[in-house]
């Protein structure tokens, strides 16, 4: 396989782990070769590395911590078989008190890596990983130089693989990567994604040029006398221009290097916060010299572009004007007006407007980041549904009967409400008559577009088995199938808040397809429109058909679907909040007493689910807060520069008005009102641009309507950030103006 062009690595993973023990702890020993080690370099490794020979091992974090092990320790691992009633069981089977471990040999390993806990914690099986290059039964995995190119040419690559191996093979491309790269998205969406990346990069470069330009212009004007003297002794405009460029680059190198190092420190801090927020461990990427050089080079290019325009303007200032301080960047003729303040405003409009746009830029950037977070929050919330139960038990079993232990637990534990269910996925033939309300709201057109996009001819559905009491509460009788005949009015609205309308026009029969593509029909005895306490949240357009457990198992047997056991029995309970942890421990003990090796269970509390739901966006929020801090700092420095640049160009105007007898307080009040007016306009502009951005996104993304984006927008963060920016800008303007007004009038008129 490695001989095929485009293949970077080709390795092998074990399919069946070996049973092993360390002291009294069970371990499922897995195997992978060197190429897989390279492919999984940035996996769930917490510390250390993968094994590089057959005498090294990687173990689960919990096993390492429980036994106070550390990297480099030599440990003796026993290999053998796990046996229950004389029969060998799988290495990953759930531990029970009935099993015996039959040891046949042991081997000493050096602990070289600590891995995330992989197996279900209730199975009492730990993870072990050893390098082995002669895996008897394994799965071949391949990494291509370019996943996108390989997927595009998958037919050709499959033929080449078959050719070099001498037999027909089937390549399965990872669904997660297909979705990540958007390889099955429409062409317009692909162009949009690539275009948005280019625009984002160029936009960030343009943004920093915009921020840095004013700072350099003020810096250059502070040197105007010195530069004018150089010109008076023969220096050309081009020499002055080169001098400014050279000095700007030299004084920027040290801050760029410091900033780069500081950036890595911030990155590391964000990395640590990510781990705390998400409770996961991610291998930290090491600094890249090549990447650092590219970033520093881009930073210097930004400086060069930022200084170019101010340097050209400053180099062309007349010698006498430069020495005297008559700074004029424009030769435009002055305009007249009957009102003096209107005339001053018209002739200084460029300087005045700059205050508006400079303040708005930072606010708009943060607003865009808020929109990004809001979109992520929407997608996180879309499928989240709090059903009011605070304990959920998932019990996986191959037996086609209701586990008695779940029924017994629900009876033994005092609870406010509880029920047991099990779902089975089916495909529903799209031959049902939609309700009048469904058609009037044109939801059928949305459904048609969705099915066309995913190249589907059927609706997604579930047959749901309920315990007898729950099924009776919904109005069902033994042996019946009843249809929940409701659907979301807006399929893009979060399911927990969506309004429901009637789905179908009272169907009496539903045709379905099973996993093996066989077809069957279900007689619908009743349509229901309220799930009462048994609603687990239904995704848009899903079809839910309910029945009792006996009928469910009969259907499974008759349809020959008993080989598909991916769906757990689910016990949901509502108990007193202060009893949740005790009841959880009781449930664990009760199930352990009866669980068989080929069964598995998991217990989740609502507190754990809410925590996971809440922490899902913590990383993104941390990053945005970091950007907000940087933008705020840039706004302060750029605001200071632009405000002082504006006031420097109006010093003579201020001095002249003061010399004509205008009151100082009146001058201060008038200029500050003018500045505050521009800040208000800036705020309005920021709101307008934010609405435009949201509108554009809603046009190109059908799932993100303007209503949803407005509902999820974080107004408080936007307002607080805006107040911070404008308060700082007004303070800078106030003290800068005060400093100018405190100088003698003659200095304002004659000097810069």
Nearest-angstrom CA–CA distance, 634 and 213: 12
6 versus 617: which is more confidently predicted? Answer: 6
Please compute, for residue 552, the number of CA atoms within 13 A of its CA located in the half-sphere on the CB side.
26
The pLDDT score that the predictor gives to residue 514 is 82
What backbone torsions phi and psi does residue 524 show, to the nearest 5 degrees? -95, 115
Residue 342 has pLDDT above 70, yes or no: no
DSSP state of 504: B
Give the pLDDT mean for 658-663.
68
Phi/psi class of residue 174: alpha, beta or left (left: φ > 0; alpha: ψ in -120 to 50)? beta
The pLDDT score that the predictor gives to residue 281 is 46
The pLDDT score that the predictor gives to residue 752 is 43
Contact, 469 vs 411, CB < 8 A? no
Name the average pLDDT for the chain.
82
358 versus 494: which is more confidently predicted? Answer: 494
**pLDDT tier, 109 (very low <50, low <70, confident <90, very high otherwise):** very high
Nearest-angstrom CA–CA distance, 700 and 688: 19
Contact, 712 vs 386, CB < 8 A? no
Give the pLDDT mean for 413-417.
92
Tokens of 693: 């951005």
**pLDDT tier, 351 (very low <50, low <70, confident <90, very high otherwise):** low
Q: Is the dihedral of CA 208, 206, 302, 641 positive or negative?
A: negative
| Tens-place pLDDT, residues 38-97 | 888 767 788 888 998 889 999 999 999 999 999 999 999 999 999 998 889 999 999 988
Give the pLDDT mean for 529-534.
93
Please compute, for residue 504, the number of CA atoms within 13 A of its CA located in the half-sphere on the CB side.
24
Say which residues have a Cβ less than 8 Å from residue 679's Cβ, sequence separation at least 6. 355, 356, 359, 726, 729, 730
First vs last Cα of the chain: how many Å apart?
74
Q: How far is CA 472 from CA 381, 468, 507, 537, in A?
A: 31, 6, 21, 20
Of the candidates 142, 136, 120, the one whose C-alpha atom is nearest the C-alpha of residue 28 is: 120
359 versus 439: which is more confidently predicted? Answer: 439
- Please indicate, yes or no, whether the overall pTM of this predicted structure exceeds 0.75: no
Question: Poorest-confidence range of 352-356, 434-438, 517-521, 738-742?
Answer: 352-356
Burial class (CB in 10 A: 0-12, 13-18, 19+), 381: middle
- The proportion of the chain whose per-residue pLDDT surpasses 70, expressed as a percent, equals 81
Q: What is the enclosing helix (H) or strand (E) of 31?
A: strand 25-32
333 versus 609: which is more confidently predicted? Answer: 609
Nearest-angstrom CA–CA distance, 410 and 393: 11
Say which residues have a Cβ less than 8 Å from residue 604's Cβ, sequence separation at least 6. 391, 392, 394
Residue 658 has pLDDT above 50, yes or no: yes
The pLDDT score that the predictor gives to residue 376 is 82
């Amino acid at each position: 396989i490695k001989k095929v062009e485009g293949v970077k690595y080709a390795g092998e993973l074990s399919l069946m782990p070996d049973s092993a023990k360390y002291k009294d702890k069970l371990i499922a020993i897995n195997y992978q070769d060197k190429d897989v080690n390279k492919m999984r370099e940035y996996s769930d490794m917490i510390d250390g590395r993968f094994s590089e020979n057959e005498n090294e091992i990687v173990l689960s974090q919990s096993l390492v911590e429980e036994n106070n092990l550390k990297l480099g320790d030599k440990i003796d691992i026993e290999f053998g078989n796990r046996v229950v009633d004389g029969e060998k069981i799988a290495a990953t089977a759930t531990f029970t008190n009935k099993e015996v471990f039959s040891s046949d040999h042991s081997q000493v390993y050096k602990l070289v890596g600590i891995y995330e806990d992989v197996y279900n914690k209730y199975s009492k099986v730990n993870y072990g990983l050893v390098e082995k290059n002669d895996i008897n039964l394994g799965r071949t995995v391949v990494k291509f130089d370019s996943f996108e190119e390989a997927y595009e040419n998958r037919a050709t690559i499959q033929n080449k693989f078959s050719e070099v191996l001498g037999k027909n093979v089937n390549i399965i491309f990872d669904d997660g990567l297909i979705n990540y790269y958007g390889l099955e998205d429409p062409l317009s969406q692909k162009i949009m994604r690539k275009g948005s990346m280019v625009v984002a990069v160029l936009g960030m470069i343009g943004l920093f040029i915009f921020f840095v330009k004013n700072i350099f212009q003020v810096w250059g004007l502070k040197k105007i006398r010195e530069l004018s003297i150089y010109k008076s002794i023969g220096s050309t405009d081009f020499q002055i221009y080169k001098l400014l460029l050279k000095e700007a680059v030299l004084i920027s190198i040290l801050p760029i290097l410091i900033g780069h190092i500081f950036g890595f420190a911030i990155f590391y801090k964000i990395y640590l916060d990510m781990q705390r927020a998400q409770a996961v461990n991610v291998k930290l990427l090491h600094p890249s010299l090549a990447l650092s050089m590219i970033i520093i080079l881009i930073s210097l290019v930004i400086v060069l572009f930022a200084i170019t325009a101010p340097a050209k303007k400053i180099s062309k200032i007349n010698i006498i004007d430069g020495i005297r301080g008559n700074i004029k960047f424009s030769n435009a003729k002055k305009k007249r007006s009957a009102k003096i303040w209107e005339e001053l405003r018209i002739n200084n409009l460029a300087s005045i407007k700059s205050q508006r746009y400079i303040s708005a830029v930072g606010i708009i950037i943060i607003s865009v980041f808020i929109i990004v977070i809001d979109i992520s929050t929407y997608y996180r919330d879309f499928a989240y549904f709090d059903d009011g139960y605070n304990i959920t038990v998932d019990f996986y079993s191959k037996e086609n009967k209701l586990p008695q232990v779940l029924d017994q637990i629900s009876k033994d534990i005092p609870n406010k409400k509880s029920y047991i269910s099990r779902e089975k996925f089916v495909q529903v033939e799209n031959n049902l008559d939609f309700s009048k309300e469904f058609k009037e709201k044109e939801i059928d057109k949305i459904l048609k577009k969705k099915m066309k996009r995913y190249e589907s001819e059927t609706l997604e559905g579930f047959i749901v088995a309920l315990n007898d009491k729950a099924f009776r509460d919904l109005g069902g009788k033994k042996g019946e199938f009843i249809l929940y005949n409701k659907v979301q009015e807006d399929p893009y609205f979060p399911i927990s808040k969506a309004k429901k309308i009637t789905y179908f026009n009272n169907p009496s029969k539903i045709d379905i397809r099973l996993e093996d593509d066989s077809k069957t029909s279900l007689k619908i005895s009743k349509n229901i429109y309220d799930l009462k306490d048994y609603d687990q949240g239904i995704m848009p357009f899903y079809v839910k058909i309910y029945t009792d457990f006996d009928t469910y198992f009969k259907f499974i047997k008759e349809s020959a679907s008993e080989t598909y056991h991916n769906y757990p029995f689910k016990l949901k309970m509502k108990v007193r909040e202060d009893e949740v942890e005790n009841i959880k421990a009781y449930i664990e003990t009760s199930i352990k007493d009866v669980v068989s090796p080929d069964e598995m269970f998991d217990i989740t509390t609502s507190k754990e689910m809410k925590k996971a739901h809440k922490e899902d966006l913590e990383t993104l929020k941390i990053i945005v807060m970091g950007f907000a801090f940087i933008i705020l700092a840039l706004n302060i420095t750029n605001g200071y520069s632009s405000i002082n640049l504006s006031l420097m160009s109006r010093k003579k105007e201020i001095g002249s008005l003061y010399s004509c007898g205008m009151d100082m307080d009146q001058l201060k009040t008038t200029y500050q009102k003018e500045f505050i007016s521009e800040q208000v306009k800036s705020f309005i502009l920021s709101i307008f641009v934010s609405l435009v951005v949201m509108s554009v996104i809603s046009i190109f993304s059908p799932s993100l309507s303007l209503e949803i984006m407005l509902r999820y927008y974080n107004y408080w963060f936007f307002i607080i950030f805006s107040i911070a920016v404008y308060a700082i800008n007004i303070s800078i303007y106030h003290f800068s103006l005060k400093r100018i007004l405190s100088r003698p009038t003659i200095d304002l008129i004659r000097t810069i």
